[in-house]
Amino acid sequence: MNRPGFFPVWQRNFLVWKKLALPSILGNLADPLIYMLGLGYGLGAMLPEIGGQPYIAFLAAGTICASTMNAATFEALYSSFSRMHVQKTWDAILNTPLGLTDVVAGELFWAATKSFFSGCAILVVVTVMGLTNGPLALFILPAIVLTGLAFAALGLIWNALAPSYDFFMYYFTLFITPMTLISGVFFPTDQLPGWLALIGAWLPLAQGVALVRPLLAGEVPTDIALHVGVLLATTAIAFVIALRLTRRRLLK
């Protein structure tokens, strides 16, 4: 018998999602678009160009990354927690030939997949609005994948530690929201004190922004290997930690 690995776990989640695909995509699209359009045109009207581009274009790149991050994070926290803790879906799977590595990897790739749908949906809207500049924008797709993977893996760490849904609020208020503000999503980080900008630059969201913003503007990003490397390393290290913590939680 062949060992099926993580794929059936991913497939299970995909099958559930397929039943509610359209409302799910629209729901994931509405919130970031409202912010992007509201801030982009409302606030943007009062702002000069940033780095030679209108504010709405600057913000579009940040929105693609932030909405990828949010989708991956929500899936790896709330949805994975439902499956692990409330529905006991993971327990059921662990009674089969699959192991915990398969389960957690399936969840990682699924959360990344779902965030890919979200990031792509924003990218499509941004393209329709005429904010892309040439075929380099296609390389935004792999950048979305890398960003989604990193945040899925980070979310799974918190999932493994969570006693209840309430616990996830801390993750947003202590990590996600501050990071969004210092990673150059809404404004350039050179507005920040030097030390804070430095911290922000190393956070995974900033790595995604550093890739997506130039690609959207039709330019080749600088330090590609560094940004890709940091995102991949974040994914790998966070996954190993998440797996270990989940093992301690479920298989003690």
Q: Applying CB under 8 A, which residues contact other proteins?
A: 1-4, 8-9, 11-12, 15-16, 19, 87-89, 91-99, 251-252
Give the residue carrying structure tokens 């045109």.
Answer: 41
- Residue 33 CA to residue 165 CA, distance in Å, equals 26
SS (H, E, C) 147-212: HHHHHHHHHHHHHHHCCCHHHHHHHHHHHHHHHHHHCCCCCCHHHCCHHHHHHHHHCHHHHHHHHH
- Give the angle subtended at the CA of 143 by the CAs of 84 and 63, to the nearest 5°: 80
Question: Which residue, 92 or 226, is less far from other proteins as judged by CB?
Answer: 92
Q: Please, what is the minimum distance in Å from the beta carbon of residue 106 to other proteins?
A: 10
Question: Which residue, 87 or 222, is less far from other proteins as judged by CB?
Answer: 87
Question: Which residue, 99 or 178, is less far from other proteins as judged by CB?
Answer: 99
Q: Please, what is the minimum distance in Å from the beta carbon of residue 99 to other proteins?
A: 5
Q: Please, what is the minimum distance in Å from the beta carbon of residue 109 to other proteins?
A: 15
- Give the CA distances from residue 122 to residues 12, 23, 118, 137, 180, in Å, rounded to whole numbers and listed in that order: 25, 15, 6, 13, 17
Question: Which residue, 15 or 128, is less far from other proteins as judged by CB?
Answer: 15
Question: Which residue, 96 or 222, is less far from other proteins as judged by CB?
Answer: 96
Q: Please, what is the minimum distance in Å from the beta carbon of residue 1 to other proteins?
A: 5
Phi, psi at 53, each rounded to 5°: -125, 155
Q: Please, what is the minimum distance in Å from the beta carbon of residue 78 to other proteins?
A: 15
